[in-house]
Amino acid sequence: LEFRRVLFPISIMAHKPNYFLLAYNEKGWNPEPYREQFDDPDYENDDVETQFQISLKVPFAIGLFNDRMDIYGAYTNRSFWQAFNEEESLPFRETNHEPELWFQFDNKWKVFGFTNRLNSFGFVHQSNGRNEPISRSWNRLFANFIFERNNIALSIKPWIIVGDKIGNEDIQDYMGNVELRGAYKWRQHTFSLLLRNNIQSGFSKGTFQTDWSFPLWGRIRGYMQYFNGYGESMIDYNVHTNTLGMGFQFTDYF
C-alpha cells in the first residue's frame, strides 16, 4: 500500500511501515542453515528475538505527463536479531535488503464503489546478502494496483520472477505470484491484512499476516503483528513460522 505523494524531488520519506518488534515464534526459527554454515550441529536460535524494519523512498521525478506520472526509488531493510541469544553471541539471524524502482500513475477510475487511486509498475530485488549455503536472492517485475474507499484501502500486487533465484530456486512455490493487502483506519487505529499464495498453493503454502497499530505518544505508535505461513524472511521462505510480535511503529500506511 502507498498513499503519500511528495512535491519536491529532494524529499526522503517513509515507504513501507517503519517499526521495532519483540517477536515470539512458537515453532522456533529453523537452525539448520546456520548449523551447515558454521559446521556446528549444536547451533540453536532463541524462540524470542527482535525484528525491525527501516523503509525509505526518494522521488526521482514527479509530475510527468500532465502531472500524472512519478518515478520513485526505495530501499527497505528488515532485520531479525537474536538479541537475547548470548550463547551464540547475539547474532543477526537474518537481514533482508530490498531496493526497488517504479513508475506510478495517479488514477480516478471507479470500481465497485472503490477508486483506483494509484497504479505502479517497477522492479524489485530482494536478498539477504549472505554467502553459500545460506544465500537467498530473487528479482521481480511487479505491478501494484491500489484502491480506496473512505477509510479502507486495498492493494493487488502481482509479479513475474526474472533472472536467477540464488539458493531458493523453488521460491515461487511458497511466495506465489501475487500479494493482497488491505488496510482499515478506525479513528487513530489502523488494521491491516496480508494474504499471499493461499489459493495458488491450495492453502498448503500460503501466508497470513495481520497488523494493528494504535496511538501511544507523539508520532510513536504501538504495534502488534501476527504472522502465520511461509516467507517471513528470505532464509525462511520455505519454512512455516507462527509469530506474534509487539513493539513500536514510527510510520504507518496512512
What is the set of active-site residues? Answer: 125, 127
Burial tier of 247 (Cβ tally within 10 Å: 0-12, 13-18, 19+): middle
Query: How crowded is residue 32: how many other Cβ atoms within 10 Å of its Cβ?
Result: 11
Q: Determine which helix (DSSP H) or strand (DSSP E) holds 66, and give its type and residue range.
A: helix 64-67
**Vertex 152 angle, CA 148 and 156, to 5°:** 60
Quote the cell numbers at residue 166. 540464488
Go through the chain and tell me how many residues it has. 254
Q: How many other CB atoms are found less than 10 A from the CB of residue 98?
A: 18
**Block residue for cell numbers 545460506:** 134
CA dihedral of residues 100, 107, 155, 51 (deg, nearest 10): 40
Q: What is the dihedral of CA 141, 142, 143, 147, to 10 degrees?
A: -170
Contact 249, 16 (CB under 8 A): no
